Structure 1
C-alpha cells in the first residue's frame, strides 16, 4: 500500500534546504571537533540552562503550544520574547516551523497521507528527508495557515534574521566567557537540540504506547516515558494528537512533562492565562477515542492499528 502512495502531491516540490543543511553541519562539525576538549561541568550546566530556556520555554512552550496550537493567551510582548527564545534554540525560524507543522498535521490526520508525512520509512531516510529537504507546496491555501502568525511583523523579522540572533548570542558568550564556553553553549547545545528534536519526533511516531485512536487518521503517534521526560513532554505524541489544543502533553501521573511545569510557572506569574489543559478544560478532539493500551517497540515487526 505504501508503494502506491505518492511521496508528495503532484505539483509540490521537495528541494534541498541549503540553509538548514549548512546550519546543521556548521554546528555539528565544531561540536564533534572541539566539544570533548571544551567540556566542563560548569559549561555543561550553563548549556543545559540554555536548553531549558530556548528549547523548553521558547520552542516547546512558546512556539509549539502557544503560537502554533494557541493553548494559552499572553501579551504581545511576552509572545515576542517566547518567539525570540525559540529562535535561540537554533532550530530555525518561527514561521518555517508554523508552516511545516500545519503541512504535517493536515496530512497526518488523513488516510491519504503522502509518504513524506507518514512514518512507514527507516530512520536513515527520515534523517535525510527532514534535515536536508524542504517542502514547497504548489497550493498553500489548503492548509489554512493562520494569518495572524504568518503576517506578524515580529515573527516575519525573526524568520529573516534568526541566524544572526543566534550568532550574536554565541559571539557574546565567546567574548564574555571564552571559546570553550561558546563551543559547549553553542554548537554542542544546538546540534544536540536539532538532532534530539528530530529523533524524538521520529521515534514518537514509531514506538511506544498509545491510549488513543484518531479516527480516519494515518498517524496516531506514540508515548514514551523516557523521550517525554527528556523533551519537555514532546515525546508524549499520542496524547498530543488526541489533545492538540492542550498545553499539557502528559495525561497520567507517571508521564513527566517538564514543559507543563514551565507553563504552570508562567501562569502563576501572571504571564500567560486562559490555559487549555487536559484534565482542566475540554481538549480531547472529537475524532480521538480512548482504547486499551497498544504497544509498539522496535523488535515488533508489525504495527498494530
Structure 2
C-alpha cells in the first residue's frame, strides 16, 4: 500500500524498503556544513578545484566508470582501469559502488515492466521523490532475480570499496583541511558532494518526467526523457530516453545538438588506449529490441 511515510515497494520474494540510515546521515553530514559555511568559503581558486574534482569523480568515476563501464559494459578495459574508475566513483560521495550497481539493476528490472512499484515510478511529486529516493533503500529477498553479474556482485575490490567508501572521502577531507585550510575542505568536500548528491537526484527525477523523447519501450512503465541543459551538465546522463533505448551505448547523445561530455571522456580514454571495443549508437547494435522509434514528442510540467 502506498503512503507518504513508506513508499509502495515490490514484495515478491521478500523485497522490502527500509530507511537507508547511512545515506540519510551522510546526506545531512554533507548538507549542513555546506549550507552553514559553503557559500562564504567560495573563492575562484576553490571553486575551480572543486569543479576539477567533480569532472574527475562524477565524469570519469560515475558516468563513464561505474555507469557506462561496469553496469552497462559499453566498452572493455584492463582490470586496473576498471578498479581506478571505481575508486574515483567513491570520491563522488554518492555512496558505495555495489549499492549503486544493485539499485541500478533493481530500477531497470522494475521500470521495464508494467507492474513497476511506486518507488521506481515517476508519477509523484518532486518533494515525495526527494523523500523516497534519498531516504530509503530496497533490500532484496532474492537478488538472483535481477541477474547482476557475479563478477560485479562478488568483485573483491568493489566489495572493499563498498565497506569503506566513506572513510576514503573523510580521509580526503582531512588531507585537504590539513594542507589547504578549512574553507578549501568545505568547498571541495561537503559543498561539492551536496551538489553532486542533489544534482544526481534532480537529473534523475526531471529526466524521467519532462523533456523530449523519440523512443517508446514496449511493455515498460518508464521510457525517460531527454533534456538539453541537464544532459550537458550531467556528462550526458540527462539524455535518458536515449539511454533507455540504447543502454549499451557509451554515447548517450544521438543528435548533433545533444552535448554528451561523458562521451568525450570515453573517446579520450579510447584515444590513449585505456578502453577499447567501445559501443556507439549509430555504429554498433545498441538499441534494445523493445525500443521503438516514434515521432518526436515533448512532456512539460503543466501536463501533469
Same fold flag (TM > 0.5): yes
TM-superposed CA distance for 1:12, in Å, is 2.1
TM, length-normalised to structure 2: 0.96
TM-superposed CA distance for 1:169, in Å, is 1.0
SS at match of 2:18: strand
Query: In the alignment, which of 243, 249, 252 is matched to residue 249 of structure 1?
Result: 252
Following superposition of structure 1 onto structure 2, how do residues 10-159 of structure 1 map, counting pairs within 5 Å? 10=11, 11-159=14-162
Following superposition of structure 1 onto structure 2, how do residues 150-299 of structure 1 map, counting pairs within 5 Å? 150-299=153-302
TM-superposed CA distance for 1:9, in Å, is 2.1
TM-superposed CA distance for 1:239, in Å, is 0.1
TM-superposed CA distance for 1:143, in Å, is 0.6
CA distance in 2, matches of 1:246, 1:36: 38
Count of matched residue pairs: 298
TM, length-normalised to structure 1: 0.96
Residue of structure 2 in register with 1:9 after alignment: 10
TM-superposed CA distance for 1:288, in Å, is 0.8
TM-superposed CA distance for 1:279, in Å, is 1.6
CA distance in 2, matches of 1:280, 1:188: 40
In structure 2, stretches of 5+ residues that fail to align are none
Poorly superposed stretches of 4+, deviation over 3 Å: none
CA distance in 2, matches of 1:300, 1:218: 18
TM-superposed CA distance for 1:299, in Å, is 1.6
CA distance in 2, matches of 1:87, 1:148: 19
CA distance in 1, matches of 2:282, 2:179: 45
CA distance in 2, matches of 1:287, 1:160: 37
TM-superposed CA distance for 1:171, in Å, is 1.1
In structure 1, stretches of 5+ residues that fail to align are none
CA distance in 2, matches of 1:277, 1:19: 37
- Superposed CA RMSD in Å reads 1.2
